[in-house]
Chain A
């Protein structure tokens, strides 16, 4: 019990005094996961829309497959990416292993299924009368899509938030392809909140772990707060 209280006090100190390592790790976490989320959105939203509005054989099975992939284990994604980008792998020549880029790739792939699936759900949530109204008002294909997206924007925003939440909180892929490197330059380091928590705990630095855990929690809460605020506006 004492350890936990002490941990929290030290955690508070690290946060309040803006400990440079803690800040760097937090900022890096946000940058990597945000980039992954943005990239995944750029793929998932159009893909989700294409699947939702498309009519092609196997559409139902495809949606089922996507939903199955929601629970894609992060270490499996990590392993897959590791094998692909390791020096002897097919993309080894790009020398991406143990770089933030590799983590972005892994997290992008990790959140792609859930974001695609949630995009489909978000679009399904739009009232059919709204769809009819848009077509009735003489919308071109593009205008139709843009307006449906706009109607679904809160659900889509929630999709992005959920994707970001999953990306920033995963540890399995991050440690496998990132390597948890703390280099002297910010851009070469791959230590993020989750891998740092894992490392610090294994090294017995409970207070650092708690501090990083609190920050991770705070980021997740902040994201949700922003979403709810926008939704209630």
Chain B
């Protein structure tokens, strides 16, 4: 019996030692020791992760910079929260207005735009609201009209999770002349909030034969599993701009700013810009993202923001 107790204790001790070693490794890699791998923590909007763009880019970066990339996928709102709390080194988001606030509040620095694409209003092929090829704002108005009138076939599924896509959707309602809080949200069963990531929201809209606003990248990545089709995909207001920015080391001194800079510079480098532009073409027949590098005028940002490496 005593022998058994000893053996059990030994096993427990062994497990604990093994675990401490694992923890030890993770813990110490954040130190600036040259021999060990640098860890880079990124909070990203779901679309960059769900499309596998990051899964495609990180191995190249890890190889080149001898670093390890840890990606936490969340909506833009949550990603900003992580950034604000100093839990990550870099954020990759797509919500210009909130990014500006974030930077103005001193949490973010060195924003660089590395990619863009377009949002797309997707819905069932039957298009029950009859909004195909309308201007985005007009289409939104028509959907709301049919929905509030009680047409049971017209449903709009919203991300409802304070993500960048959700922000874009809200700004489109606003542009169409509605007060989002009082006239859209909670105005009837036609408007439903999913409260999850883009992929899950598309799945939900598919099940309900509903309309939803999606970034084109995620939609294309999921298209094979969906019966939804693009209903409205043209209009400047559907522009979707992705940026990466560093969390301000002045706020959190032990943030890993070197490797964060490396990552952002890596994203806007010629080589990676080409990778982004060609990503998914072989699989989907069209790119999921456009490189930001040469289109800064089109997307309305400064040249420096797409081209100048961070010093």
Report which A residues bind B (CB closer than 8 A): 31, 34-35, 38-39, 42, 86-89, 92-95, 97-101, 104, 146, 150, 179-185, 187-188, 199, 201-204
What chain B residues lie within 8 Å of A39 (beta carbons)?
16
**A202-B87 contact given A183-B71, A187-B25, CB 8 Å threshold:** no
**A181-B70 contact given A101-B23, A101-B26, CB 8 Å threshold:** yes
8 Å CB contacts to A: which residues of B243-289?
252, 254
Interface-located stretch among B140-148, B171-179, B194-202: B194-202
Interface residues contributed by chain B, number (CB under 8 Å): 40
CA separation between A168 and B95, bound complex, in Å? 36
Across the interface, do B15 and A38 meet the contact criterion of CB distance under 8 Å? yes
Across the interface, do B16 and A99 meet the contact criterion of CB distance under 8 Å? no
Across the interface, do A104 and B19 meet the contact criterion of CB distance under 8 Å? yes
- Fill in one digit per residue for B52-82: 1 if any A CB lies within 8 Å of its CB, else 0: 0000001100100000111111000000000
Across the interface, do A88 and B86 meet the contact criterion of CB distance under 8 Å? yes
- Fill in one digit per residue for B22-49: 1 if any A CB lies within 8 Å of its CB, else 0: 1101110110000001010100000000
Contact of A203 among B69, B87, B88, B199 (CB under 8 A): B199
Across the interface, do A87 and B87 meet the contact criterion of CB distance under 8 Å? yes
Contact of B27 among A95, A199, A204 (CB under 8 A): A95
Across the interface, do A180 and B15 meet the contact criterion of CB distance under 8 Å? no
Across the interface, do A100 and B68 meet the contact criterion of CB distance under 8 Å? no
A sample of 15 inter-chain contacts (CB < 8 A) reads: A42-B12, A86-B86, A87-B87, A93-B254, A97-B87, A100-B22, A180-B72, A180-B73, A185-B37, A187-B26, A188-B26, A199-B73, A202-B200, A203-B50, A204-B199
> Which of B30, B58, B71, B252 has the most A CB atoms < 10 Å from its CB?
B71
A38-B16, A39-B16 known; 6 new pairs, CB 8 Å cut-off, are A31-B19, A31-B22, A35-B19, A100-B26, A203-B50, A203-B199
Across the interface, do A184 and B30 meet the contact criterion of CB distance under 8 Å? no
What chain A residues lie within 8 Å of B5 (beta carbons)?
146
Report which B residues bind A (CB closer than 8 A): 1, 5, 12, 15-16, 19, 22-23, 25-27, 29-30, 37, 39, 41, 50, 58-59, 62, 68-73, 85-88, 196-197, 199-200, 202-203, 222, 225, 252, 254
Contact of B199 among A94, A182, A184, A202 (CB under 8 A): A202
What chain A residues lie within 8 Å of B86 (beta carbons)?
86-88, 92
**A99-B15 contact given A183-B68, A188-B70, CB 8 Å threshold:** no
What chain B residues lie within 8 Å of A184 (beta carbons)?
58-59, 62, 68-69
**A35-B71 contact given A87-B85, A87-B252, A204-B225, CB 8 Å threshold:** no
What chain A residues lie within 8 Å of B73 (beta carbons)?
180, 199
From residue B18, how far is it (CB to closest CB) to chain A in Å? 8
| Chain A residue with the shortest CB-CB distance to B222 | A204
What chain B residues lie within 8 Å of A146 (beta carbons)?
5
What chain B residues lie within 8 Å of A181 (beta carbons)?
70-72
> Which of A182, A201, A203 has the most B CB atoms < 10 Å from its CB?
A203
From residue A209, how far is it (CB to closest CB) to chain B in Å? 12
Contact of A202 among B25, B72, B85, B197 (CB under 8 A): B197
> Which of A42, A97, A188 has the most B CB atoms < 10 Å from its CB?
A188
CA separation between A204 and B222, bound complex, in Å? 8
| Chain A residue with the shortest CB-CB distance to B12 | A38
From residue B5, how far is it (CB to closest CB) to chain A in Å? 8
CA separation between A122 and B68, bound complex, in Å? 46
Across the interface, do B68 and A185 meet the contact criterion of CB distance under 8 Å? yes
**A99-B23 contact given A86-B87, A183-B71, CB 8 Å threshold:** yes
What chain B residues lie within 8 Å of A88 (beta carbons)?
85-86
From residue A37, how far is it (CB to closest CB) to chain B in Å? 10
> Which of B5, B29, B37, B70 has the most A CB atoms < 10 Å from its CB?
B70
What chain B residues lie within 8 Å of A98 (beta carbons)?
41, 70, 72, 87-88
